[in-house]
Amino acid sequence: MTTVVDTIKDQIENNPILLYMKGTPKFPQCGFSSQASQAIMGCGERFAFVNILENPEIRAELPKYANWPTFPQLWVEGELVGGCDIIVEMAQNGELETLIKAAAQKAADSE
């Protein structure tokens, strides 16, 4: 039987760029998720997302698993990058695009 934590681990391992958010990138359901997804989309690479509003068990378990209480959460190559403030700050100073493009390239190389 698969647990919620197994599902979370699986999502993080199988998606080099993954955003846990409220809503979807096209229809975000909160301002923070909107800012975060806009910043990531601005990097020009495809990324996976999980709408936690449609997955209440993930919404309940992920903060414990990640040791990070809020959403959105950006995971790149299995590592938690952070939430909205960190994502936006990294986007402004250019670090986000470097990180996202490197992860996308690495994923493309391994296919």
43 is in an annotated binding site: no
- Pairing mode, strands 17-21 and 48-51: parallel
Cα radius of gyration rounded to whole Å, the chain: 13
Instruction: Determine whether the annotation assigns residue 30 to a binding site.
Output: yes
Say if CB 68 and CB 75 are below 8 A apart: no
Q: Binding site annotation covers 71?
A: yes
**Residue 68: closest CA among 53, 40, 87, 42:** 87
Give how far Cα 75 sits from Cα of 1, 102, Å.
25, 13
Is there a binding annotation on residue 84?
yes
β-strand pairing of 73-76 with 48-51: unpaired
Residues making up the binding site for [2Fe-2S] cluster? 30
Residues making up the binding site for glutathione? 22, 59, 71, 84-85
Residues making up the binding site? 22, 30, 59, 71, 84-85
